[in-house]
Amino acid sequence: MRLEGKAAIVTGGASGFGAGIVRKFIAEGARVMIADINGQAATALAREFGDAALGWRVDVSKDESVSAMAKAALETFGAVDILVNNAGVTHLPSAMEDVSEADFDRVISVNVKSVYLTAKHLVPQMKARGKGAILNVASTGGVSPRPRLSWYNASKGWMITATRGMAIELAPAGVRVNAINPVAGETPLLKSFMGEDTPEVRARFLASIPIGRFSTPEDMGNAACFLCSDEASMITGVAMEVDGGRCI
Ligand SMILES: NC(=O)c1ccc[n+]([C@@H]2O[C@H](COP(=O)([O-])OP(=O)(O)OC[C@H]3O[C@@H](n4cnc5c(N)ncnc54)[C@H](O)[C@@H]3O)[C@@H](O)[C@H]2O)c1
In a domain, 247, yes or no: no
In a domain, 191, yes or no: yes
Amino acid 78: pLDDT: 98
Q: How many domains does the chain have?
A: 1
Mean of the per-residue pLDDT values for the chain? 98
In a domain, 17, yes or no: yes
In a domain, 62, yes or no: yes
CA distance 157 to 81: 25
CA 202 to ligand 1 center in whole angstroms? 19
Note down the domain range covering 85.
Answer: 7-242
In a domain, 2, yes or no: no
Ligand 1: list residues with CB < 6 Å.
11-12, 14-18, 36-38, 58-61, 86-89, 110, 137, 139, 182, 184-185, 187-190, 193
In a domain, 178, yes or no: yes
Instruction: State mean pLDDT over 144-169.
Output: 98
7-11 sheet: strands from edge to edge: 53-57, 31-36, 7-11, 82-85, 132-137, 175-182, 239-242
Q: CB count, 10 Å around CB of 67? A: 14
Amino acid 96: pLDDT: 98
Q: How many helices (H) and strands (E) would you count in the chain?
A: 9, 7
Q: What is the pLDDT of residues 81-128, one digit of tens each?
A: 999 999 999 999 999 999 999 999 999 999 999 999 999 999 999 999
DSSP per residue, 58-120: --TT-HHHHHHHHHHHHHHHSS--EEEE-----PPS--GGGS-HHHHHHHHIIIIIHHHHHHH
Helix, strand, coil % over all residues of the chain, rounded to 5: 50, 15, 35
Amino acid 127: pLDDT: 98
Amino acid 60: pLDDT: 99
In a domain, 19, yes or no: yes
| 116 catalytic per annotation | no
CA distance 46 to 56: 9
In a domain, 248, yes or no: no
Contacts of 240 (CB under 8 A, 6+ apart): 178, 179, 180, 181, 223, 227
The CATH number assigned to the domain holding 40 equals 3.40.50.720
Query: pTM (2 decimals)?
Result: 0.99
Amino acid 179: pLDDT: 99
Handedness of CA 41, 7, 185, 213 (dihedral sign): negative
